[in-house]
Amino acid sequence: MAALGILKLSFLLTSLLPTSNLINSNVGVFPPTCNRIECPSYDLIDSGDGFEVRRYNSSVWISTQFVDDISLVDATRTGFLQLFDYIQGGNDKQQKIEMTAPVITEVKPSDGPFCASSFVVSFYVPRENQANAPSADHLHLQKWGPTYVAVRQFSGFVKDEDVGEEAAALYASLSGTVWLDAIEKSHPGADTTEYIVAQYNSPFEFRNRVNEVWLTFDPKDNFEK
């Protein structure tokens, strides 16, 4: 059993290693991983050139504390190890929990190119565990109500030098929409630059890889069509 756990860990960690992207961004691609393991459910609210807007249903996530690093890839790997231990039984109930997708990394960018940014890495908690999810030292449960997210997709393996460009492209694609107004009202000032990177695939899928950049917001007005 120990050998199986190590093999699974090796398999999953490799998905967080950087390499080149295969194609450029688009939207509307359903991650093949979500046909095999559980992913959070959502409704598609709107789509446009280079973006879509989703409303995620209420959900629970298990999250790390802030990880300070100059590399999103390295910070995600650090957080992934803590969360993998949690789903393998390293929690207060010694309960094993199924792997889900995506692995998300919340990004709070630094003020300079050689300063550490802050990252929070999270796993989606399966529906069957959400009502009574176990806790663990140095991790915390996040309970999301219905959550609105603007999304841009890109393929390949996530690299540090790409994610900021993808986030900027998402922001630019929303220009002139009510969605950008909602994002800026929800995240005034410096918080507007915060975003989430979502990774779905196993490391051996070199085709049809799906990653996403998310900008969350609170629709205080009725933006739905």
| pLDDT band for position 191 (cuts 50, 70, 90) | low
Neighbours of 62 (CB within 10 A): 25
Given a contact cutoff of 8 angstroms between Cβ atoms, the answer to whether 171 and 180 are in contact is yes
Domain ranges of the chain: 2-16+28-217
| pLDDT band for position 162 (cuts 50, 70, 90) | very high
Would you mind telling me the total number of residues written for the chain in this entry? 225
On the question of pLDDT at 95 being above 50, the answer is yes
The rounded Cα 67 to chain-centroid distance in angstroms is 15
**What is the CATH code of the structural domain delimited by 2-16+28-217?**
3.20.80.10
Among 224, 168, 176, residue whose Cα is nearest residue 192: 168
On the question of pLDDT at 39 being above 60, the answer is yes
Among 109, 101, 119, residue whose Cα is nearest residue 63: 119
**What pLDDT is stored for residue 10 in this prediction?**
44
Given a contact cutoff of 8 angstroms between Cβ atoms, the answer to whether 179 and 223 are in contact is yes
CB-neighbour burial class of residue 5 (10 A; exposed 0-12, middle 13-18, buried 19+): middle
Which amino acid, one-letter code, is at 127? Answer: R
**What pLDDT is stored for residue 22 in this prediction?**
38
**What pLDDT is stored for residue 121 in this prediction?**
98
Mean of per-residue pLDDT scores for the chain: 87
**What pLDDT is stored for residue 132 in this prediction?**
96
Averaged over 163-188, what is the pLDDT? 94
**What pLDDT is stored for residue 78 in this prediction?**
96
Averaged over 45-65, what is the pLDDT? 97
**What pLDDT digit, counting tens, does each position of 119-139 carry?**
999 999 999 999 999 999 999
**What pLDDT is stored for residue 165 in this prediction?**
95
Neighbours of 148 (CB within 10 A): 21
CB-neighbour burial class of residue 25 (10 A; exposed 0-12, middle 13-18, buried 19+): buried
Token reading at 222: 């009725």
The rounded Cα 63 to chain-centroid distance in angstroms is 11
Averaged over 152-166, what is the pLDDT? 94
Averaged over 21-31, what is the pLDDT? 64
